[in-house]
Structure 1
Amino acid sequence: MKPHQTFEAILSLRADLALALRAAAAQGLSEGVCNHFSVAVPGQEDWFLLNPRGLHWSEVQAADIVMCNAQGEQLAGRHEVEPTAMFIHAAVHRIARKSVVLHTHMPYATALTLTAARALDTTLSQTAMRFHGRLAVDPHYNGLALDMTEGERIAHAMHGADVVFLGNHGVIVCGERVDYAYDDLYYLERACQAQVLAASTGGPLMPVDAALAARVAEQTHGERLQSELFFASLRRTIGSEPS
């Protein structure tokens, strides 16, 4: 990729990442000024864009996004980077080779990380079935990720999965593009919400056959227009930048 193309790609990705952060805040997926979204820079294998420390996601603009490398160094940006963000995201980009990495403590998904199963049952709701065969579980909570070693441990625990449930912690959702990953993040929380609500009734749950769940996952993952349309609707309703 030529330098001017890299620059244009960075501008576009910063805008998309900022939009995803504001959308997550609007849809109840954020937690204070914690958690982090990142996206790899095309043509620069070890660079990625990341939200800064200390800003509520609802106020993040494209110009606030910072740039880091896989060694955990900040390359550009007017704000500082939160240490756990650097260590987790640098490791996942470098080891798991994921383009987009979204880490949240969104409530219903996090609630399931506190259970013995640690994760979503992908044979329950139709929304959950889209994740069948795409989940990994890291059941070993080791405290805050304040060094590269913990980030590397999490990255290896993913085993190439798009979604990892971190025991007693939260979730990481990865994807090829910001719009695809955000769509998965949103619907993952909806699936977890449905499971938590169903379990709260105290009645028996009714899963479907694993083969059917796998077929639904293939149908959903094989057609991404809906993801693109969803993100486009967020651009219209939330706006490209806050006023």
Structure 2
Amino acid sequence: MNAVTALDRPVRDLVSPEEWETRVNLAACYRLTALYGMTDLTATHISARVPGVEGQFLINPHGMFFDEITASSLVKVDYDGNILLPSPYPVNKAGYVIHSAIHAARPDVDCVLHTHTRAGMAVSAMECGLLPISQHSMRFYNRLGYHDYEGLAQDEDEKKRLVRDLGTHRALILRNHGLLSAGRTVAEAFSLIHYLEKCCQSQIDALSGGQKLTIPPGQVCEHTARQYEAFGILGTRDWPGHLRRLDKLDPSYKE
């Protein structure tokens, strides 16, 4: 988990074209998370499975802000916490625990994104959890896990409970902690957290109004969730636009 000596060759020369593409998309996801105001200094993390290799994933160097992350700076680590390419930065222990657990248990998940946003933390502390009070929140109806708070996620034993509570879902609320998405692609993980964050913000706004809330019948919420699922992998249509936006602002994420 600790930093190791620096490389003497460019990372792009040391990895497969498929891994490099994943690195570029993951670095873009970090930049977008910063752009949309969902960061917590260096405290949270996003990971992506290394394509074509068992038991390896990419994660942020612990000490860089999200708007500084580049494709080359991402740290490659295995499920035992070993850093596989030299990096001047260590890996966040909680990030390793959370992400290694999900990648190992869910081969359908290629990207895991965890946030500590103001709205996400607020809803994570609500006994009611996420309420189906908006079209966006109905996307997550019966498709959202909850994991009780156990302290900083540094205990290896917590992995099995994280995996259990996520189940087959693509989103998880970590009670008294924050939000998590588990995407089939980097684009899907980002889109899921983007919409889950909006749901939390709108729930806080609605509750602050002091009026009785209207909640549609369960069958309507389920119908809406299935309609969303029929669209396929979330974020596919949006991702090229996100990359165009980043290219206009600062294309250094691709370095």
TM-score when normalising by structure 2? 0.87
> Which SS does the other structure have where 2:237 is aligned?
helix
State the 1:225 CA deviation: 7.4
1:122-133 equivalences in 2 (<5 Å)? 123-133=132-142
Letter in 2 for 1:76: L
State which of 144, 148, 155 in structure 2 corresponds to 1:147.
155
Partner of residue 114 from structure 1, selected from 103, 125, 139: 125
Structure 1 stretch displaced more, 6-15 or 147-156: 147-156
CA distance in 1, matches of 2:166, 2:117: 19
1:94 aligned onto 2:121: no
Structure 2 counterpart of 1:234, from 236, 242, 253: 242
Aligned residues: 236
Structure 1 unaligned residues grouped into runs of 5+ = none
Cα deviation for residue 153 of structure 1 reads: 2.4
Runs of 4+ in 1 over 6 A off after TM superposition: none
Name which of 66, 70, 74 aligns with 2:79: 70
Which ranges of structure 2 fall in alignment gaps of 5 or more residues?
Answer: 1-12
Q: Which amino acid aligns with 2:65?
A: H
Does residue 11 (structure 1) correspond to residue 20 (structure 2)? The answer is yes
**Amino acid across the alignment from 1:120:** L
Separation (CA, whole Å) in 2 of partners of 1:236 and 1:107: 28
Q: What is the CA-CA distance between 1:226 and the residue it aligns to?
A: 6.7
SS in 1 for 2:84: strand
Query: Which whole-Å deviations, capped at 9, do the CAs of 1:19-54 have from their partners, x for residues lacking one?
Result: 011101110111111111011122222111111101
C-alpha distance 162-53 of structure 1, shift in aligned 2 (>3 A): same
Distance apart, 1:218 and its partner CA:
1.7
Instruction: Determine whether 1:165 maps to 2:176.
Output: no
Give yes or no for contact 1:65–1:77 (8 Å, CA) kept in 2: no
- Residue identity opposite 2:103 in structure 1: H
Cα RMSD between the aligned structures? 1.9
Supply the distance in 2 between the matched residues of 1:226 and 1:143 (Cα, whole angstroms): 31
Counterpart contact for 1:88–1:148, Cα < 8 Å: no
**Distance across 2 between alignment mates of 1:180 and 1:42:** 16
Measure how far apart 1:219 and its partner are. 1.8
